[in-house]
Chains A and B, each alone.
Chain A
């Protein structure tokens, strides 16, 4: 392909049934969609969620309005599929962030971020995030772990922007409270 299609052009072509154009979007957004699915708790089913999301997105593409960009629109489908996965599979706490548990210090790296203490602290943080109410967790995952804007988070989670703002504040407070329990302050 000589010319790289931008999202809007790819969507326009995909609407007319151009599967090559749609594949541009599939290639571009498979990794972010997969990452979102994993962090939102799809665990080992993340690839299935991504596949389903791309199939659904194509079939609903006439409903795509374009104000928010293709990525959050797709992520909204990913988030929804992930929730549904939990609902029917009793994996309410999911496999969220299990990946983090496998992390260890890089033997070759002297980076202080990889010190045993830092790893422990990270694991503690992950554990506390997992214990949050799913609604609080989702908003923190979107805003900070996936680094989405408030507007993108709103689209992804299907919430009004104001709710994202207030829920983020609430979730941060709850997480901070959790982290402060049983922990040396300013560690």
Chain B
């Protein structure tokens, strides 16, 4: 009698619910009020332990937020990239591993297999290496990296609407406008970790990144690393076509 068994199990689950020992919640009235009375448009720097992924998540409450830039106190997000405003915890691997299934290709092949049109800056000279990382089963890479100026400048692009791909910890970061798009400028060195398609952080890829500009254009997220000033980075970003 399946119905009876269901009934019995339901009764047991209900009883379990009332028997579980859940810790006392903290009284957060003061903290919540303080957060709600702070002006929102200013960039704030403090530590927060909440981490939420962006974009493409099937949240019931935040559909409008997918694939856009969002700042939830202490947490900056550009589609596919999340920045925690906190000092990095723990050390970085001495020899960071490359991103999963990284391989080099030429630009034509990259354009053929990429899941979106590849765009490149025109002011950085000739591209150096072209790298494709973390392909899907059909072979479309998730992240395309092109290096410039003897590998000192790195230009990543990926479909920001898909899911979280990089995770950064940075103590300093600022909102910037790149033409009509918003972005984030990280002026100092900061740890960056690749987050796989499965949402798992690949800690072995953690490495210290140089100054980085991140922006979203259409559905593609761009990440430009290695230019020392925001002005320089912005000029390069605006030349992307």
Please list the residues of chain A having a beta carbon within 8 angstroms of any beta carbon in chain B. Answer: 19, 22-23, 26-27, 30-31, 33-35, 38-39, 45-52, 54-56, 58, 60, 76-77, 79-81, 83-85, 87-90, 97, 99-100, 102-103, 113, 122, 125-126, 140, 144-147, 155, 157-159, 169, 172-173, 175-176, 179
Contact = CB atoms under 8 A, between A and B. Distances in A.
7 contacts: A23-B29, A26-B32, A33-B25, A51-B31, A60-B61, A60-B62, A176-B9
A88 B9 contact: no
Given A84-B51, A88-B82, A39 B9 contact: no
B5 interface: yes
Given A125-B16, A146-B17, A158-B59, A30 B33 contact: no
A99 B29 CA distance: 25
Contacts of A145: 13-14, 16-17, 20
B12 to A, nearest CB: 7
Contacts of A175: 9
Contacts of A23: 29, 32-33
A55 B53 contact: no
A176 B1 CA distance: 12
A52 B72 contact: yes
B112 to A, nearest CB: 31
Interface string B4-18: 011001101111110
Contact of A88 (B6, B19, B23, B53): B53
A31 B25 contact: yes
Interface residues of B, number: 48
Interface of A: prevailing SS? helix
Given A88-B199, A90-B200, A113-B19, A19 B37 contact: yes
B138 interface: no
B28 A30 contact: yes
Contacts of A173: 2
Given A90-B201, A113-B19, A81 B50 contact: yes
B167 interface: yes
A55 B32 contact: yes
A80 B167 contact: no
Nearest to A22: B36
Contacts of B53: 84, 87-88
B26 interface: yes
B94 interface: no
B22 A88 contact: no
